[in-house]
Each structure stands twice: as structure tokens, then as C-alpha cells.
Amino acid sequence: MADERSYYNDLVANDIIDMIRPALTANGYKIRWGDGKFHAELSMAYETPWHHIKHDGTLDCHTWHSILFDVIYKRLGTKMVPSKCQQCWKVVVRPPTLLALFALEEVQKQLDRPSKCGIEVRETVHGLYGGYFYNHSLEQGLECYKTVRAAVDAEPLLGPDVPVILKRACTEFEHEVGPSDKWEVTDEQRHIEALVDRWVVQDPMVQDQPDYLINRVHRRWVEFAYAAGDGTYAHFTNGEPIYPAYVTYHHLAEEERPAPKKRKVKVAGKDAETAAIDTKGIEKR
């Protein structure tokens, strides 16, 4: 009987308030009158890099990622990927330019699958732009990959050279927990997630972004491309820079440089003079 848990140990293991405390103090969660469940009135993000093309109402990424992973599991000092996140498989497209990103946006609209696209502002992601398609199993992910790969190949502004991959769940999970093919679901995890499923509620987030918010997202894309040195931003500014060009003065030094001298070389056994090398032309290229 020595290995039986005490009443106190049960109290600790089921103390959902202790697990979720940071969300109560900083994330706007409150204990709701009527049913005693944890609830937060969430709003649509207005400074987002993403255009959400189509929502999947069955994905509760806020609870699974922002509460379970970012708050509860870290507070408990455990490295676990939420079990429902382990069922998420993403097809990722990596457009190389802003112009290609807008082309991908149209591809996602045509395919009419749960998806989003936008600029990559996370330091842990290699690439400036990304598009994501969401699936609920490896089988769905593989089918989606084939469809997306074909659509990207057929789009002239994208094409076969644009990377398309299939990955599992969020990038942050692999960075913090390890390779996705090694993930497991433990009994402790099942117990914690059962508590969260019972006591944490989330309003469904299926409303489309309003036009003014999409315009804001597009503006941010163009400004991001300009700052990143992506010249295709000019397709959306009538060829004009977003900010005025610098006044430069280095040409004054170039004017003081002596003209290049001619030198003699052997051409087919005969002396011949070479033309002066156009160094300014080289520097311009």
C-alpha cells in the first residue's frame, strides 16, 4: 500500500488553478460564473503577419499551444507536445519573393482548404515568407501535399523550384521537445489534458478577417519585403520606393580616380593594345 497516492498528492495532481495560474494573471482568463470554467474573451489579432484564408473550426490552437504548451507544461517543467497537436500535419510552402507570396495567396483561395500565408517574423524559421495547409492525419497530409505540390508547380510565379514540405505540428515543438517522430503521449499528459478539456473553454474562432484587416496585413507584407531587400515589392508600389533614396557622395571620389592605362599584350604573336577596363561599369553590375 506504500505506493498508493495520498489525498494530498491527489490534491496537487488535480490543482488546475495552480497549473493555469499564469493565464489567470496575465492572459485574461477568469473563472466564469455559472459553470466555474476558465474562460477568456479573445479578440482578433490586428498586428498579425498572416492572412487566414480558411479556418478549421475543430482546431483550438490557442488552448493547445498557448495554454497547454506555453503555460501548463512549462510551469510543470515537463517537455510534452499536446496530444491533439500531434495529430496536426502541415503542408508548408516557401515562396521566395513577395510576388510569389501573393501568387500563393491566390492558390490557397482556389484550393479552398484550411490554410494561411504571410511573412515569417519568427527568428527560428529560415525564410521570409510561408504558406501553411492544415490536416488532421498523416494520410490527409500526404494527400494534401500532392494537391498543393501540383498547384504550386502549375503557377507561373511559383513553379517546381519552390519548396513544398509536409511536417508535423508547430515548429516550436520540435525545437523545444525534439524530433516529431520521437513524440509520445504519457499517462500524466492524458490526465492533465483531461482536466483542461473539462475546465478550460474557448470561444470558436471561425470568423473571417475583415477587409480592412487583410489590407493591413498586405501593407505589412509590402513594407517587410522592402526592408528585407526583396525588389518585387515594387510591383505593388508602381515601381516607387516606399522611402526616399539616400543622397550619396561617393561619386566625388570616383571622379578623382585616374583613368585606367592601356597595356600591351601578345595576340597571335603580335603586339596589341588592350582597351581600357571600364571599372565603373563593373561596379555598377
Residue 197 has φ and ψ, to the nearest 5°, of -60, -35
d(CA 193, CA 16): 10
61, 186, 188 from 78: Cα distances, Å = 19, 11, 10
pLDDT of residue 262: 62
**Least trusted range by pLDDT, from 28-32, 152-156, 163-167:** 28-32
Mean pLDDT of 242-267: 76
Position 61 confidence tier, pLDDT thresholds 50, 70, 90: confident
Complete DSSP assignment for the chain: -TTSPPHHHHHHHT-HHHHHHHHHHHS--EEPTTT--EE------SS-SEEEEE--TT--HIIIIIIIIIIIIHHHT-----TTGGG-EEEEE--SSHHHHHHHHHHHHHHTSSEEEEE---TTS-SSEEEEEEESSHHHHHHHHHHHHHHHHH-TTS-TTS-EEEEES-HHHHHHH--GGG----HHHHHHHHHHHHHB------PPPPHHHHHHHHHHHHHHHHHTT-GGGGGGTTT--SSPPPP--THHHHHHSPPPPP-EEEETTEEEEPPPP-HHHHHH-
Residue 157 has φ and ψ, to the nearest 5°, of -85, 0
262: CB partners within 8 A, 6+ apart: 273, 274, 275, 276
Residue 276 reports pLDDT greater than 50: no
Residue 272 reports pLDDT greater than 50: no
d(CA 127, CA 157): 17
Q: Specify burial of residue 243 (Cβ count, 10 A radius: 0-12, 13-18, 19+).
A: exposed
Mean pLDDT of 266-270: 50
Q: Are strands 264-267 and 115-119 parallel, antiparallel or unpaired?
A: unpaired
Cα-only R_g, the chain = 28
Domain ranges of the chain: 13-233
pLDDT of residue 57: 82
**Least trusted range by pLDDT, from 68-82, 126-140, 171-185:** 68-82
